[in-house]
């Protein structure tokens, strides 16, 4: 008999427990066949947007846009928000990849890079004179390090003229940002949202839009169908430029609605509880230990354990119980395991996982 697996991989990951029901309903309603110019679609867009606004307490001068992925948003941010010079705080593979996109698109790219497992602190930034965009990563999925929300909120006062953009791909919906002190946040849905991949969510305020309009007025290319002014024009009508992932937006709207019924505060508290259970395990464990030594910058949503070069063994042994863990990222493949702690993962699943982990010494 095929055993049902529990995906604790940090994306794609376990589906939120209501996704199956919503998929069946979507098929009944023939959602994949509807026109993206129909009122049915604009209703779905509006629902997704309103549920997200409510959940995140998003100010009214922010817009909710849809793309194919977070990777796409990296490229769009550079095209729309940077004429010459950009800054990237790099503490792992994802933040590094974003900075490489800036280089490939020909921008002067300042990189502030710290060693894996170390944190990003604003008082250590280099000279950012003339930097148009400051790229920060709330949760670096490759190392399990966060840049705390209160640290992110300090950046604006020091660099009031730069756009501050935040990658929250593997932490949403957990973080509580001060949206008056940042300009863009983005995520894709196959991580904390517990959905199938293939949809990016791009939140921008009017400062980003103004910047893209300035670049356009100066004669720069800011892209084509996903240039910000065109995206905003369509978003105001609850539409998209292209034929979007309608099924994905439908699922997102409904998953957000379910999460809001449960309550974002409850979800955050459960995330804290499960992180504490996992942290306690790593502190008691004879072999496993925290890769991120400083508890202040340790992720609650992607827990990274040092395995003493025994990752393959832990992954294989846990797989026999149906638990799919993430290997270490890139050159940490056999040095780390990564355990996602998303809203789709129940307290019971994490408690049982910890029991199994403790048995392997």
Ligand X SMILES: *Cc1c(COP(=O)(O)O)cnc(C)c1O
Residues that bind ligand X (CB under 6 A): 11, 69-71, 94, 137, 141, 167, 169-170, 188
Q: How far is the CB of 68 from ligand X (least distance, A)?
A: 8
Tokens of 176: 């509580």
Minimum distance between the CB of residue 11 and ligand X, rounded to whole angstroms?
5
What stretches of the chain adopt beta strand conformation (E)? Answer: 6-7, 62-67, 85-90, 108-113, 133-137, 139-140, 145-146, 163-167, 184-188, 200-205, 289-290, 302-306, 323-324, 326-327, 336-340
CB nearer ligand X, residue 170 or residue 212: 170
First to last CA, the chain: 29
As measured in angstroms, the least distance from the Cβ of 337 to ligand X is 16
Pick between residue 18 and residue 143 the one whose CB is nearest to ligand X: 143
Nearer to ligand X, 74 or 314 (CB): 74
Nearer to ligand X, 168 or 215 (CB): 168
Which C-beta is closer to ligand X: that of 136 or that of 350? 136
CA 75-81-83 angle, 5° bins: 100
Give min distance, CB of 127 to ligand X, in A: 26
**Residues 304, 292: contact at Cβ < 8 Å?**
yes
Q: How far is the CB of 168 from ligand X (least distance, A)?
A: 8
Sequence-distant (6+) residues with CB within 8 A of 23 are 251
Q: What is the rounded distance in angstroms from the CA atom of residue 231 to the CA atom of residue 235?
A: 6
Q: Which is nearer to ligand X, 151 or 167 (CB)?
A: 167
Residue 156 beta carbon to ligand X: minimum distance, rounded to whole angstroms: 21
Cis check: omega of the bond before 173, within 30 degrees of 0: yes
CB of 83 to ligand X, least distance (A): 24
Query: Which lies closer to ligand X via its Cβ, residue 11 or residue 117?
Result: 11
Residue 96 CB, nearest distance to ligand X (Å)?
11
Q: What is the DSSP code (8-state) at residue 179?
A: T
Rama region for 57: left / alpha / beta (φ>0; ψ in -120 to 50; rest):
left
């Amino acid at each position: 008999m095929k055993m049902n697996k529990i995906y604790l991989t940090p994306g794609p990951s376990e589906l939120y427990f209501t996704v199956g029901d919503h998929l069946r309903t979507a098929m009944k309603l023939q959602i994949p066949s509807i026109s993206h110019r129909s009122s049915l679609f604009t209703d779905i867009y509006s629902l997704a947007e309103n549920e997200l606004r409510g959940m995140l307490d998003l100010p009214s001068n922010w817009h909710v846009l849809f793309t194919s992925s977070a990777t796409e948003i990296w490229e769009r941010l550079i095209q729309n928000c940077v004429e010459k010079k950009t800054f990237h705080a790099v503490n792992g593979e994802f933040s590094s990849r974003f900075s490489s996109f800036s280089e490939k698109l020909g921008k002067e790219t300042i990189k502030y890079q710290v060693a894996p497992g170390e944190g990003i602190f604003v008082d250590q930034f280099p000279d950012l004179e003339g930097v148009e965009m400051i790229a920060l990563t709330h949760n670096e999925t490759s190392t399990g390090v966060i840049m705390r929300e209160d640290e992110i909120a300090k950046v604006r006062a020091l660099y009031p003229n730069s756009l501050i953009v935040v990658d929250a791909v593997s932490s949403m919906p957990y973080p509580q940002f001060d949206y008056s002190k940042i300009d863009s946040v983005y995520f894709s849905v196959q991580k904390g949202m517990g959905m199938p991949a293939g949809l990016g969510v791009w939140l921008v305020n009017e400062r980003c839009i103004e910047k893209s309009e300035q670049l356009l007025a100066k004669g720069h290319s800011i892209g084509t169908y996903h240039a910000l002014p065109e995206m905003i024009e369509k978003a105001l009508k609850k539409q998209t430029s292209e034929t979007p992932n309608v099924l994905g937006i439908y699922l997102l709207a409904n998953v957000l609605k379910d999460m809001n019924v449960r309550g974002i505060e409850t979800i955050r508290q459960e995330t804290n509880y499960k992180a504490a259970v996992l942290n306690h395990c790593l502190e008691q464990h004879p072999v496993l230990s925290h890769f991120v030594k400083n508890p202040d910058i340790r992720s609650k949503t992607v827990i990274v354990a040092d395995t003493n070069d025994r990752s393959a063994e832990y992954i294989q042994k846990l797989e026999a119980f149906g638990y799919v863990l993430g290997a270490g990222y890139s050159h940490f493949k056999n040095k780390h395991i990564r355990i996602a702690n998303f809203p789709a993962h129940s307290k019971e699943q994490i408690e049982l996982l910890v029991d199994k982990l403790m048995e392997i010494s």
